A and B are shown apart, each in its own frame.
Chain A
Amino acid sequence: MYPRYVSPFLAALSLLLMSASAVPQVIKDDLGRPFPLPARVPERIVSMAPNITEILFALGLGGRVVGVTRFCDWPPEAAAIPKIGGLIDPNIEVIRSLDPDLVIAFRGNPLRLVERARKLGLPVFVLDIGEDLDELFPLIERIGRVTLTEARAADLTAGLRSRVDAVDAGLRGMVSRPKVFALLYGQGLWTCGGESYLDNLIARAGGVNVAASLPKKWALYKRERIIKDDPDAVFILARTAADFTSGRDRLARTPGMVGVTAVRTGRIFELDENAASRFGPRLVDVLVRMATLLHPEKLGGRT
């Protein structure tokens, strides 16, 4: 059905395509820098952020992670992996000595160090920091892409998405949106402004962040403003149960705070600081917990 000369042409074309597929495919990282995809699943991965470590483990790549930051303590196995330094002080010499075939960095790592590592010939893939729960899924998919584990990444995101969808569906028709104050870990009234993913998470959980109008990620809040905002619920990000109790007592003892609705009604809740402070899969756990606590009438008993 083709003229005779077509089939050698087609054969040549298919040969060309086949040889082209042997050339590594090049994608771009979030800095827009070209990055050749590895030919097979990387075996020696260095992660330069806790949330990246967590996602790598969730993708079943934990055994291939050879270097992490000193903040990477989840899952617990990650704590035993050799440390490359911190987020802003990763040590290039240590990274190089691990002889990685993939280094995944994020935008919070100093760019000059990332560039120095790249110049040393290390395959560095840089990812953005998410500001919105929906950015978690592309983040996981991109890590799946660069580690050639797309199928597992798709499964993971599908599972997470369905849980987020369940929250959305459960909250449909909610009558009110409680006002929420989130108290971050540490000293002082640190909270999340409108630009942080925690603000987005509160909104997705059917609440309103009282500090949403602050055009920042993290901000030191004023005592008077909390009293005026009168939040219906307070979430305290805590590392241990003792942290939570001391945070709750500190808040309740603050002068003027007794009249605040959340304190009066006792709607002061604990959130796992470790899960809530990393832009990884456990954010969905945090979302489910927040939504259930804020809207027990809608989601009660369905966590």
Chain B
Amino acid sequence: MSRKAGRRLFWAVSLFLCLAGFFLSVLTGPVRTTPGDLINFVKAPDRVLSAIFIDLRLSRAVLAFLVGAALALSGAILQGYFRNPMADPFVVGVSSGAALGAVIATAVGFEAAAFGFSGPGLLAFLSGLGIVSLVYALSLRRGGFKVETILLTGIAAGALASSLTSFFLFMRSDSYDQAVFWLLGSFQLAEWGQAATIAPWVVLCLLASVWLARDMDLLALGDESAQALGSPVRRVRKAFLAMSALLAALSVAVSGIIGFVGLVVPHWVRILIGPGHRALFLSSALAGGTFLLYCDLLARTLLPAELPIGVITAAVGAPFFLYLLHKKR
């Protein structure tokens, strides 16, 4: 099959799965609803069904899709940025920083909600971005700008934040239930406000990264070569790093830490459609959103009580990833 036909097939399948995922998400839940109910609802909206279909299920599906897209895009950017297949949105410290913020907020009872974020979400967002900025500033100071330095600084800062998180959890064991929500991720509290807050940024970052995709392709040749070929390397790198950090921090702020999506989805996509970044960014966003949509569906239907979604993403993602990896070899 030619690469072009392969891409078309990938897009067709992804789009179909995505739409089916939304449809299933709206129809599935602890309250039994049939497609007939949905059709009747569309014909004659009713207060209770509107709350269940629109405010609870659809808002949740949309948020899960947006977060999945954001995480996968962020991962795709960072893997290109670091030229390292191990990179994911959390390697620069965003996740550990955001978790620290959220756990501190739950421990001290910080509840000031703003921009559709809850109190812990807001603090998670700020501390996630704070850590990335710190990592970036520390790496810059070492004369010039080395990718390895950012990577290592990020890992160190992340470890520090994680230890502080554990400390706060230990001190305030009664806030553990709230903390689990942040540490393993969940869309249980999804609402339209959150979707509306992150949607514009996700779209903006997606458009910007597609626009800058050629420069990312050039970075694969090495910074000097890219510079020689006319790419403004410093500025491109800054823009990509900022976008990936913003996407990851926004995701954590609305849903807690959801691992694996950012690491694995770009790899799937690369295996299936090849390494060109323009297609990679778009496809990663679509595939990541769809993947998380199904993971959330599982998280809320597998057991009577809801599972944290982080449990599902790894459990479902890892075997599929291994399969693709070995099939390719």
A residues within 8 Å of B by Cβ? Answer: 85-86, 88-89, 91-94, 96-97, 99, 110-113, 115-116, 119-121
Q: Are B56 and A92 in contact (CB under 8 A)?
A: yes
Q: Are A97 and B31 in contact (CB under 8 A)?
A: yes
Q: Are B56 and A93 in contact (CB under 8 A)?
A: yes
Q: Are A110 and B305 in contact (CB under 8 A)?
A: no
Cα(A89)–Cα(B181), bound, Å: 12
Cα(A161)–Cα(B153), bound, Å: 65
Determine the chain A residues whose CB is within 8 A of the CB of B188 once the complex forms: 112-113, 116
Cα(A85)–Cα(B306), bound, Å: 11
Cα(A93)–Cα(B47), bound, Å: 13
Q: Closest CB-CB distance, B318 to chain A, in whole Å?
A: 27
Q: Are A89 and B51 in contact (CB under 8 A)?
A: no
Determine the chain A residues whose CB is within 8 A of the CB of B118 once the complex forms: 112, 115
Given A88-B177, A89-B306, A112-B181, are A94 and B51 neighbors across the interface (CB < 8 Å)?
A: no
B residues within 8 Å of A by Cβ? Answer: 29-31, 47-48, 51-52, 55-57, 118, 177-178, 181, 188-189, 191, 304-306
Cα(A111)–Cα(B188), bound, Å: 13
Q: Closest CB-CB distance, B264 to chain A, in whole Å?
A: 29
Determine the chain A residues whose CB is within 8 A of the CB of B29 once the complex forms: 93
Q: Are A120 and B189 in contact (CB under 8 A)?
A: no
Nearest opposing residue in chain A for B32, CB measure = A97
Determine the chain B residues whose CB is within 8 A of the CB of A91 once the complex forms: 30
Nearest opposing residue in chain A for B49, CB measure = A97
Q: Closest CB-CB distance, A145 to chain B, in whole Å?
A: 26
Q: Are B52 and A93 in contact (CB under 8 A)?
A: yes
Cα(A121)–Cα(B48), bound, Å: 11
Q: Are B31 and A94 in contact (CB under 8 A)?
A: yes
Q: Closest CB-CB distance, B56 to chain A, in whole Å?
A: 5
Determine the chain A residues whose CB is within 8 A of the CB of B48 once the complex forms: 96-97, 99
Nearest opposing residue in chain A for B120, CB measure = A112
Nearest opposing residue in chain B for A112, CB measure = B189
Cα(A94)–Cα(B30), bound, Å: 6
Q: Are B305 and A85 in contact (CB under 8 A)?
A: yes
Nearest opposing residue in chain A for B51, CB measure = A96
Cα(A97)–Cα(B51), bound, Å: 8
Nearest opposing residue in chain B for A86, CB measure = B305
Determine the chain B residues whose CB is within 8 A of the CB of A92 once the complex forms: 56
Q: Closest CB-CB distance, B115 to chain A, in whole Å?
A: 15
Cα(A119)–Cα(B8), bound, Å: 42
Q: Would you give 17 A-B contacts (Cβ < 8 Å), ordered by A? A: A85-B304, A86-B305, A89-B305, A93-B29, A93-B30, A93-B57, A94-B31, A96-B51, A96-B52, A96-B56, A99-B47, A112-B118, A112-B189, A113-B188, A113-B189, A119-B191, A120-B51
Cα(A156)–Cα(B133), bound, Å: 61
Given A88-B177, A92-B56, are A116 and B30 neighbors across the interface (CB < 8 Å)?
A: no
Determine the chain B residues whose CB is within 8 A of the CB of A112 once the complex forms: 118, 178, 181, 188-189
Q: Closest CB-CB distance, B178 to chain A, in whole Å?
A: 7
Q: Closest CB-CB distance, A196 to chain B, in whole Å?
A: 15
Determine the chain A residues whose CB is within 8 A of the CB of B177 once the complex forms: 88, 110
Determine the chain B residues whose CB is within 8 A of the CB of A119 once the complex forms: 191
Q: Are B189 and A116 in contact (CB under 8 A)?
A: yes
Q: Closest CB-CB distance, B34 to chain A, in whole Å?
A: 14
Please provide the 8 A-B residue pairs with the shortest distance between their CB atoms, ordered closest to farther.
A97-B31, A89-B305, A96-B51, A99-B48, A116-B189, A91-B30, A94-B30, A93-B29
Cα(A89)–Cα(B188), bound, Å: 11
Determine the chain B residues whose CB is within 8 A of the CB of A86 once the complex forms: 305
Nearest opposing residue in chain A for B190, CB measure = A116
